[in-house]
Structure 1
Amino acid sequence: MGIPPHILGGLGTASYGLTKGMAIQNDLSITFCIPKPWGDEDQSFLKIIGMNSTPVVWRDVNWEHVKSRVGTYMDPQLYYDLRDHIYADFNYLYTNDLGCIEFSGKYPDNLYEEINNYSIVAGVVARQQQYDIIHSHDWLTYPAGIHAKQVSGKPLVIHVHATDFDRSRGNVNPTVYAIEKNGMDQADHIMCVSELTRQTVIHKYFQDPKKVSTVHNAVSPLSQDIIDIVPKKNPREKIVTFLGRITMQKGPEYFVEAAALVLKKTKNVRFVMAGNGDMMNQMIRLAAQRGIADRFHFPGFMKGHEVYEVLKASDVYIMPSVSEPFGISPLEAMQCSVPTIISKQSGCAEILEKCIKTDYWDIQAMADAIYAICTYPALYEYLKVEGKREVDEIKWENVGYKVRRIYEDVLTKY
């Protein structure tokens, strides 16, 4: 997870949006524990604890040295306060000169080790901080949340942004499933990003429906510099865009197949598949096999500003996901006034009306929708204007109030 300007995918975007949306409630104070702060995060509305600056091994270090190392994002005094709460001998772990474990802040190869280390560090934080409720996002931080609950006796709420059933098209990794299920079993309440995900949690992880709520994501308002982007457009060509990880979960092959059908009827359309992932080369080959490589572009991974430049230059945005617990990117596209097509198998389909929905496998319907938006100005205008109007009303602050009600409910019962 990350905090802008360091976002790793939708999970980071959602956690940040939610935190920002909740921060407008003045009687709520939020401490955000992240693996690796960079020092340029906006801390005006929350407090950040860097898990890579939380000591697990006692080191005799002076104030100036600590300040030079953590001072950009954390009060050096906090380092010493945390150091007083080391609860076991962790000398066997690899630590740095501050006695801290260095987290990459990404998804490393030794992921399970990193998750375990994270929960060790969480034990120090949990013993030192004062709080009423613990909120863990996605399976990577469930063990940390459980540890914090055991130490403090405070209730744990977990937030399911996806399950391994979504990531693997049903071919579930038993280790990941076990971590997910344990987190759900130990949690006092489970928030899911869609009813789709809620049903998976109830039926595949055997959770009590009373303990599981749906809390749909929202979208943050566009900043002025994004509003000011003027797209480079060729009036004689339409641009259709797919933006996301090129992995089996996202259904990229359906996008390529639909593109081939559209190009049988018209030539003045270009297709952009922005992102990277383990199916990228396969998709490049598929586009070549279908004879459409000259109309297909693979610009690679895009972040921040680049994403919005691509969106604003697009005439159609499409998300053909096979299994998408929520899917924030269509909301971002609609915010940029781009007519949008989404799969019915996505959580955001539950709250969006002013877009076109097709089954992910129905490449004919998808091709028809793309062709129609590119060909009929009235349809294009309607989806462009009404889509933006709809999505501008889906605000994180409203989600924040909903989460607050769940917190209060959990605290009353606990």
Structure 2
Amino acid sequence: MTRAPHIVAKPGEQIHVLEVLGNAIVGGMENYVRNLIACLPAEEYKVSLLCPFESAFTKALRIEGRDVFIAPLRDDPPWRTIELICTLVRQHGVHLLHAHLMNAHTATAIAGKLTGTPTVATLHGMSLQPQEISVVRNTGSHTIVVCREAWSQAMAVGLAPDAVSLVPNGVDLSTYNPQSADPADFRRAINIGTDDFLIGFVGRLAWEKGPDKFLKAAEYILQRRPDIHFAMIGTGVMETELAEAAGRAGISAHFHMAGLWPQPNKAYPSLDMMLHTSRADAMPLAILEAMASGVPVVAIGVGGVPEIIETGETGILIGTSEWPGIVSEYAGDWEGVAQAALALIGQPKRLKDMSAKSVVRAQAYYDIRRSASATSQLFRQMLRPALEQARLHSVT
């Protein structure tokens, strides 16, 4: 079978990228995609998206003027989804495919192989799944990883170094900064005072994100400091379960379920501290957003988290129970998070120093414009061989 020729962007023509997303909730991966496409130069790129279902996320994309297509995405992809991607390539002049999550990567890489279209997959997790490795090897798709742990694994399993790029996540520093909101606004919304000490959790309320560990840490802290308040910002399948658990523990008056905050950048400046209790994470945007907003973070050091927090300077890292690979004066897992938070509550000057250093570190290393520029450079690099081949054919 002869592979279809790749569609090449003409000089001065926008590069048309089809972003294929394996989910369409309001989550870290989706925020990554929105941040990325917002920073790609509009005069150079046209971006369309394919998502597995309609949602508030797809509605927001359409309001922004993006073309959004819907098709089912599974780890064993339906042929009609592969067929749709191939059709979009041919009929809409797509020059490059960019996939997110394994289900999207699988379908997109097959379509890319069938149409001769360069394919990039960003792996948002802290480790590579066997199927993802197999897809890369069998289709030749390029892989972006967001943390060093995933990059090390990619090298260890024998993926070609020139087929894997490490591009850390970033945040919009004009949106996430200590001046993004009046700290009193969010506090009024959850009915606490401006002088109350407020500790936050920001993320999807799902098992892998560890919101139950945050609740346990809150209960531990409140047994010793009943004046502290906690805000859980986010929504998910565990929301009802967590609210009921807070009620059974008798901490509901100080444990505020804030739900999905429409503009999370408006909530961060109200927090005195954030606890990050994920069971698995690569480079969580919540930590980057908190740092950029001047919020010290106490975190369980899974995945790429130790690459973000400068422990003792911008926050504190705690080892996990399963892998106590982080040396700390505190216990492991959520108990250590609670103990470290208690210690910091009693050190206001240290918290203030951590806040200032967090902002400096975010500005130095985690500007979304830097991540978008690196991704754009990779896109152009992948398109260059096809462009050069087209030029040779035009000469001959």
Amino acid at match of 1:196: E
| 2:319 aligns with one of 356, 359, 370 | 359
- Residues 1:398 and 1:267: Cα distance change in structure 2 (over 3 Å): same
Residues 2 and 297 (structure 1), Cα distance of their counterparts in 2 relative to 1, 3 Å cut: farther
Match of 1:154 among 97, 112, 117: 117
Question: Out of 198, 201, 204, which is 2:151 matched to?
Answer: 198
Q: Sort the Cα spacing of 1:2 and 1:296 in 2 relative to 1 into closer, same or farther, 3 A.
A: farther
Deviation per CA, 1:214-236, whole angstroms, max 9, x where unpaired?
A: 21100013449982444244244
What is the CA–CA distance in structure 2 between the aligned matches of 1:122 and 1:146, rounded to whole Å?
10
Measured after TM superposition, the shift of residue 206 of structure 1 is: 6.1
Does the alignment pair 1:402 with 2:362? no
Pick closer, same or farther for the CA change 1:404–1:180 going to 2, 3 Å. Answer: same
5+ long unaligned stretches in structure 2: 1-18, 188-192, 322-331, 387-396
Identity of aligned residues (%): 18
The alpha carbon displacement at 1:10 in A equals: 0.9
In the TM superposition, residue 140 of structure 1 has moved relative to its aligned partner by: 3.3
Shift, 1:283, TM fit: 3.3
Residue equivalent to 1:388:
359
Q: Look up the match of 2:302.
A: 345
1:95 aligns with: none
Note if contact 1:119-1:141 (Cα within 8 Å) is conserved in structure 2.
no
Question: Per-residue deviation at 1:264?
Answer: 2.6
Is the 2:300–2:337 Cα contact (8 Å) retained in structure 1?
no
Unmatched 5+ residue regions in structure 1? 53-102, 167-171
Number of equivalent positions:
338
On the 8 A contact 1:321/1:360 being kept in 2, the answer is no
Shift of 1:292: 3.1
Label 1:215 to 1:330 Cα distance change in 2 as closer, same or farther (>3 A).
same
- Distance in 1 (CA, whole Å) between partners of 2:357 and 2:176 is 21
User: Is the aligned partner of 1:119 residue 2:82?
Assistant: yes
Alignment of 1:310-321 (within 5 A): 310-321=267-278
Match of 2:3 in 1: none
Aligned-partner residue type, residue 323 of structure 1: A
Cα gap change, 1:258/1:246 in structure 2, threshold over 3 Å: closer, same or farther?
Answer: same
Name the CA distance, whole Å, in 1 between partners of 2:201 and 2:80: 36
TM-superposed CA distance for 1:141, in Å, is 2.1
**Does the CA contact (< 8 Å) of 2:20 and 2:50 recur in 1?**
yes
After superposition, what is the alpha-carbon deviation per residue over 1:17-70, rounded to whole angstroms, capped at 9, x for unaligned? 22233327x5x4233223355375334xxxx43324xxxxxxxxxxxxxxxxxx
Match of 2:7 in 1: none
1:247 deviates by: 1.9
- CA spacing shift, 1:224–1:17, aligned 2, 3 Å: closer
Pair 1:266-2:264 in alignment: no
SS in 2 for 1:123: helix
CA spacing shift, 1:351–1:123, aligned 2, 3 Å? same
Q: Which residue of 2 is the match for residue 237 of structure 1?
A: 196
Amino acid at match of 1:191: I
Q: CA deviation at 1:200?
A: 4.5
Shift of 1:201: 4.5
Structural mapping, 1:10-409, within 5 Å = 10-23=28-41, 28-35=44-51, 37-38=58-59, 40-43=62-65, 48-52=66-70, 116-162=79-125, 178=131, 181-182=134-135, 185-201=138-154, 207-223=159-175, 227-232=180-185, 233=187, 234-288=193-247, 290-300=249-259, 302-305=260-263, 307-353=264-310, 354-361=314-321, 362=332, 363-393=334-364, 394-409=366-381
Cα distance 1:378–1:184, how it changes in 2: closer, same or farther (>3 A)? Answer: farther
Indicate conservation of the 8 Å contact 2:292/2:362, yes or no.
yes
User: Following TM superposition, by how much is the alpha carbon of 1:391 offset from its aligned partner in structure 2, in angstroms?
Assistant: 1.3
| Cα RMSD (Å) | 3.4
TM-score, normalization by structure 1: 0.70
2:14 maps to which residue? none
Structure 1 residues 49, 151: CA separation in 2 closer, same or farther (over 3 Å shift)? farther
Query: What letter corresponds to residue 115 of structure 2 in structure 1?
Result: S
Q: Check conservation: 2:77, 2:106, Cα contact below 8 A.
A: no
Instruction: Check the 8 A contact 1:14/1:217 in 2, yes or no.
Output: yes
Cα distance between partner residues in 1 of 2:221 and 2:379? 48
Aligned partners of 1:7 and 1:13 also within 8 Å: no
Kept in 2: contact 1:328–1:348 (CA 8 A): no
- Say if 1:245 and 1:275, in contact at 8 Å, map to a contact too: yes
Contact 2:20 2:49 in 1 (8 A): no
Q: Please say which of residues 279-288 and 6-15 is displaced more in the overlay.
A: 279-288
Secondary structure of 1:142's aligned partner: helix
Distance in 1 of aligned mates of 2:353 and 2:295: 10
For residue 285 of structure 1, report the CA deviation from its aligned partner.
4.7
Separation (CA, whole Å) in 2 of partners of 1:259 and 1:365: 12
